[in-house]
Chains A and B, each alone.
Chain A
Amino acid sequence: MFEGKELTCIRGERLVFTGLNFAVGSGGALVLIGPNGAGKSSLLRMMAGLLKPASGKLLWNDALALDDIDEHAENLHYVGHHDAVKPVLSVLENVRFWAGVRGGDVSEKNILNALDVFDAKHLADVPGRFLSAGQKRRVNLARIIAAPAPLWLLDEPTTALDRASIALLDSAIRKHREGGGIVVLSTHADINIESATVLDISDFAQGRETKGAA
């Protein structure tokens, strides 16, 4: 169970959102929507513990998640705007490093299996600098398969992905949820997440009262 209570985000003296609540249970999915600048990325970074909420709290299985950030980090995978693929390392080495840093299984078989989930097995020996944006994204997504963690925080994961890869991501998310995993993702594109809770962040922007009154 992953919950947020009365979260407030302030960026550069601008109130982005306030009084935001969410709750996702095991096997659940939360889809964040809202226009550019509504705070989808900020909320995801907050959930990851990269950004401290100005007020409010995050609960992981009823315990305060931000009390021990290192422990919280072990429970989650974050996919941000950058793909963290090193140009001079091969795809295999890139994914193996991230799996190793998480204390995961670094055997070649495990890494290749993870790459296979996103149909990137044939890229294993290709240096990162020769990858296209979509391929980099797939390698980054393979990273989160290689060392499992219950909570996935995906910030616009479909960016640069083609239709076939989005379908692969879709089934990876479904499998993750079937195993009791939780997924939170922000998106502009259409990705079919079954029985997901949708959270429109612009509802929590300042001035929603005036909007409601009008």
Chain B
Amino acid sequence: MKQFAFLVRRDLSLAFRQGMDSLLVVVFFVIAVVLFPFGVGPEPGTLSRIAAGVIWVAALLSTMLSLERLFQTDYDDGSLELLALSSLPLEVTVLAKVTAHWITSGLPLIVAAPVLAVLMQMDTDGFLVLVAALLLGTPSLSLIGAIGAALILGSRRGGVLLSLLVLPLYIPVLIFGVSAVDAAIGGYEFKAQLLILGGFFIGTLALAPWAGAGGLRQALE
């Protein structure tokens, strides 16, 4: 447990000192969403109807953007070999790196989301549910992404491959994330969708570290 905290702290301090990486993710998120009012036009009805979907899709894409570097830098400089050789099981190492990834790229998205919801003229009833859905959904995105990030190690043009591998797996999270917000805006019950998102989170939490560690072992051979 102490070593787990050590690893998370190290990844966080790496991310903060490299600053740009996690900042870029948020900036991409904001810009991607801001494009929509320009493209779709400012009519209130249209924008507010697609608001939840746009914010979620932008969140998926910006998470993707930061995934490629999740293991790549450690792989390139040999740190990954040494992490695999520490007494910490590789599964726990994956979990620690995913935790740090979520804190540096998932949390900022959640903070930025309500501001963008205002910009998209989303109905205020949806704000809280949007934040709740993102809180439950983005950890799954980081966890699923870790599997893809581990599998692409050592391949050329890994970034493109990563989106092909990971984006289809994001679809369930997207569906229930958007539907929770839409239900809340429409005045319907949204608890079921949030529970399903929570279920995805627990499911990926149980499976992704093992799959990710398997991918890393493959890459290190």
Instruction: Name A residues whose Cβ lies closer than 8 Å to a Cβ of B.
Output: 48-52, 70-71, 73-74, 76, 78, 80-86, 88-89, 93, 97-98, 100-103
Chain A nearest CB, measured from B209 CB (Å): 14
Q: What A residues does B13 contact at CB under 8 A?
A: 89, 93
Q: Would B2 and A88 count as touching, CB distance under 8 A?
A: no
Chain B nearest CB, measured from A113 CB (Å): 20
Q: Would A50 and B81 count as touching, CB distance under 8 A?
A: yes
Closest-by-CB residue of A relative to B75 is: A82
Q: Would B18 and A102 count as touching, CB distance under 8 A?
A: no
Interface of A is mostly: loop
Q: Would B7 and A82 count as touching, CB distance under 8 A?
A: no
Chain A nearest CB, measured from B89 CB (Å): 6
Task: Pick from B17, B81, B83: contact of A101, CB below 8 A.
Answer: B83
Interface of B is mostly: helix
B79 within 8 A of A: yes
Task: Pick from A52, A74, A78, A103: contact of B81, CB below 8 A.
Answer: A78
Chain A nearest CB, measured from B16 CB (Å): 9
Chain B nearest CB, measured from A141 CB (Å): 13
Q: Which 8 A-B pairs have the closest CB atoms?
A: A82-B78, A88-B17, A84-B79, A84-B78, A100-B6, A73-B85, A74-B87, A101-B86
Alpha-carbon separation in the docked complex, A83 to B78 (Å): 6
Give per-residue flags for B86-121: 1 if the beta carbon is below 8 A from chain A beta carbons, else 0. Answer: 111100000000000000000000000000000000
Q: Would A103 and B2 count as touching, CB distance under 8 A?
A: yes
Alpha-carbon separation in the docked complex, A89 to B14 (Å): 7
Alpha-carbon separation in the docked complex, A52 to B84 (Å): 14
Q: What B residues does A84 contact at CB under 8 A?
A: 77-79, 81-82
Known: A101-B7, A101-B86; 10 extra A-B contacts, CB below 8 A, are A50-B220, A73-B84, A78-B81, A82-B79, A84-B78, A86-B77, A88-B17, A93-B13, A98-B82, A101-B3
Q: What B residues does A86 contact at CB under 8 A?
A: 14, 77, 79
Chain B nearest CB, measured from A81 CB (Å): 7
Chain B nearest CB, measured from A138 CB (Å): 15
Q: What B residues does A52 contact at CB under 8 A?
A: 221
Q: Would B78 and A101 count as touching, CB distance under 8 A?
A: no
Q: Would B85 and A76 count as touching, CB distance under 8 A?
A: yes
Q: What B residues does A48 contact at CB under 8 A?
A: 85
Q: What A residues does B86 contact at CB under 8 A?
A: 73, 101-102
Q: What B residues does A76 contact at CB under 8 A?
A: 85
Chain A nearest CB, measured from B91 CB (Å): 10
Alpha-carbon separation in the docked complex, A76 to B76 (Å): 22
B10 within 8 A of A: yes
Chain A nearest CB, measured from B54 CB (Å): 35
| Given A70-B87, A70-B89, A78-B85, A97-B6 contact (CB < 8 Å) | yes
Q: What A residues does B10 contact at CB under 8 A?
A: 89, 97
Alpha-carbon separation in the docked complex, A18 to B26 (Å): 53
